[in-house]
Structure formats: structure tokens, C-alpha cells
Copies of this chain bind each other. A is one copy, B any other.
């Protein structure tokens, strides 16, 4: 209802004469048909506007995530996918923002650019207090502030200095830059590092409990980008592990002004208001799935994926509405062409990626393989521990996933794909991308890339791949920030990416040979067998 475009777009798809179904082998003619549908009749930007403009940010297990999930599954059904369904997994609390405000009220009135930290407790109405600049980054720093924080809003970050970046804000790769990824980095394994990572504690939680015990009223941190950008990432979403007091992130310019005023005279007073609600009605987050069923039940399946969840600043457009739209548009293109692939093609939209690839990991543990990770570990500790837990125990589904293609590097067009050090897979990946040389998308580079939902598949030896994309202004200013709106996507880039995603899926689904796999990983030996551990580590 919010947006008439879905209706009209679907109508369009229905009235247009359906072309004859494509033959089951992925011929050049099929790829040409995919290109024609994907580039000349794209619905990518209309779909993107419905999701980003109409619905907006999608924090995992928030009401708005569920609203978006309803929209996405309706879209999958309208496209004509089969087996459209959701799968819940253990996550944590829902958290929904009604409104918030941060204002400096003395020595003068300034509305501060600020954002609550995700899963921050709400304020009790409007909180008004003086600030104290008390930077703390480890437990050892607490002692110096004992007895000095009662009734204060605590500024917990060092102010730092304004950036002097001489890099361009907006960028497209040239071949030379892409070639820098065409390398094989020697892997290294240091038991001490893995050990330390797995023991990583939840410092924000400890800090908030110390501040609460000291009678502080709230904590504010500085944004890690300047230019009035804010982000608001937070990881304390487990029941019983939420922050002990309200937490905000304040724009660098506004934070530093507070620091200077506090140094130059009486501490500024600020007002903080956060009207947010925790929701424990379900602790399950949901992944979304739809299939194009293959003709050969024994041939396994291929899968496209992107994470559907986002952070709370902006509309989650580049991270990762873009990937989500590409997955949905690739499905539409293939359905519109009536393809009858040999292998099933599965379209997945993941939850909980921003909290540690939780959705794709839940899928892996349910269907593909398990690793013996302490279930009490959360956040970065669990994220690191999972890839280092041995042995890997494959499940029956392990053999069935023949290829996974992930898109999660913003709104830039596809330039190629990372081979994840799988030398054996490179020729087939090159063949499948070769039709897109003219679109600048045919590069296959040897290196691995991380930070998104193909990682845990690679960690268990399954063929999970992530595309190379033009950076645009993703890293410079958009990633996780209040600039992550549809404005920072590009229609041309999105339809190119969706077209290539569709063609890769179709070729992988119809391929005579499976994409070569890596051997099942097992625990590596220490890279430096003679390393003496630094006692200060």
C-alpha cells in the first residue's frame, strides 16, 4: 500500500507475453536473454525504493526488520519463487526506536548530531546533566574515575583530531587496482592469537556496569568518522547482557566541541532523550528463502545470498539493501525467463550478519556442518571462535550445496569475483564471467575477502564466493553511517550486478561439472612453531 510501484511492476510482468522456457543447459543464448531482461526491463531501483525509502533500516529482530521481511517474502511470492519461507534462529532481544534527541543546553543551545547505540536502554524521559570527559578503553582505566562520575553524562572516548584524508570520496576501480587482489597471501596460524580472540570480553558492558555503579546517568562515545556522520553500532542484544545505562554516539565535531568547552570552563550541560523499547516476545531472528526448483533432485543446489539486516543509521541501502535487491532482482529475471535449471537455485536473505554472520552460520549449522563452539560465546568472541573450532562435522546437506554467490560490498557494479585461494575453481569462474568482459566484470582474482556471509562456508571448505564491486563512496562515508540511503546507490550499477548474479546462478545450476571444492579443512599447525609468547599479550 505504501508504494504503488510494486503493484504496477507485477502487473507489467503479468500482462507481458511469457517467452518460451529456456533449455536446461546454460548456453550463451540463455545468458544473452538474462542480459536483455536484466538490463532493459530492470525493476532493481523500483524494488530498492520500496525497501530503502518506504521501509528503511532493518536492525536484526526489530519490528522494522519484520516489516521488511513481510515485504520481501511477498515479493518472492509475487516473483513466483517456490518454497518461500522463513527460518528462525536463536538471536536475542528486539529493540525498537520511537524517537531520540541529544541537545547541548549550556553554555548555549545546540541540537547535537547523535544516534543511540543499538540496544541501548531508554532514558527515563529527558535526562539533563553535566558532562565529564573520562576516556576509558580497558578495565585498568576505571580506578582513576572512581567517585567522580555520579550524576554525570560520561564522555568515554578520546577526542582525537579531524581527518585530513587526501583520498577521493568516490572511486571506481581501474584494472591495476583490481590486480592488487590477484595474489595468494600465505595463511598464518598463531594459537595465541586465536586463543586471545576467543577470550575477548565485552568491554562496553563492563564499562556501562562500572558507570552505573558509580551513579553516572549515561555514556556517550565519539563517531569514528567526522563530517557529522554517525553510526550507532552496538552488540549488547542478549537478555541479561544489555548495557547498564543509556548510550549515545555523538558526531565528532559536536563531541570535540563538548570536550573543548569542558576544558575551557564549566562543564557543558546536555539533554538526552531516548524513547526505545526492548522486545522479548521472541528471541529468534529470521532468514528468508525462496527457490527455483531444479529438474534433477540429485544434482544439489546453488544459492545466492545477501544479508537483509542493517544498522540503524540511514536506510541500510548500500549495506546491504543493494545486495538484497540484487538477489531479488536476479530471482525475478530468471523467473521472468521461465528457466528450468538442472539444480535448484535458492535465494537467501540473511539476518544477524552485522552481529557476526549469525544468520548464515545458523543455516550452516542446521544443514551443512557443525563446529564445537562454546554456545555461551557471543559477538566477536563467537565470530572468531567458530572458524577455529575443530573438528568440522559435516551434515548430509554438506554435499548438496554446489555454489554460493554473495553480494555485500555496497552499491557498486560487479567487476569480478574473489576466488578465495581456490586455484581449482578459477577456470570455471572465469568461464562463467567471460560474457561480462564488456561490462568490466570478468576479473577472477585469487585472494580471499572477508567480513560477510560467504566466510563461514569457505571456513568449512564449501564453495562460497563474494563479488568484487566498485567502491563508490561506500568505505569513505556510507558504510554503516547516516549516509547509507538510496542516494548512494546507482541504478546502472544495480541492474548490472543483478544481471550478472542471475547469469552466474543459471550457469552454476546448469553446469555439467560441479565447481571444484577445497578439501575439508582441519586444524593447521602453528605457522611459527618456535614462537615464544609475549607475557604482556
Contact = CB atoms under 8 A, between A and B. Distances in A.
A45 to B, nearest CB: 9
A171 interface: yes
A108 to B, nearest CB: 6
A5 to B, nearest CB: 5
A365 to B, nearest CB: 35
Contact of A265 (B2, B253, B477, B488): B2
A107 B2 CA distance: 7
Interface string A44-67: 001001100111100000000000
Contact of A483 (B54, B99, B228, B265): B228
Nearest to A110: B56
A99 B170 CA distance: 35
A49 B260 contact: yes
Contact of A257 (B110, B227, B257, B485): B485
Contacts of A164: 170, 472
A457 interface: no
Contacts of A202: none
A271 B226 CA distance: 28
Contacts of A99: 109, 111
A18 interface: no
A256 interface: yes
Given A2-B265, A3-B264, A55-B108, 15 more contacts: A4-B264, A49-B261, A53-B264, A54-B107, A54-B261, A54-B265, A56-B110, A164-B472, A166-B169, A167-B168, A168-B168, A253-B485, A254-B485, A257-B485, A257-B487
B56 A108 contact: yes
Contacts of A55: 108
Nearest to A55: B108
A177 interface: no
Given A228-B228, A228-B482, A485-B253, A260 B53 contact: yes
A165 interface: yes
A245 interface: no
A322 interface: no
Contacts of A253: 483, 485, 487-488
Contacts of A483: 227-228, 253
Interface string A137-177: 00000000000000000000000001111111111000000
A252 interface: yes
Contacts of A482: 228
A168 B163 CA distance: 12
Interface in A451-497: 472, 477, 482-483, 485-488
Interface string A245-271: 000000011101100110011000000
A487 B162 contact: yes
Nearest to A48: B260
A25 B107 CA distance: 45
Q: Which of A46, A53, A54 has the most CB of B within 10 A?
A: A53
A68 to B, nearest CB: 11
Interface string A163-194: 11111111100000000000000000000000
Given A253-B485, A487-B256, A264 B54 contact: yes
7 contacts: A2-B107, A46-B264, A49-B261, A54-B108, A56-B108, A56-B110, A165-B168
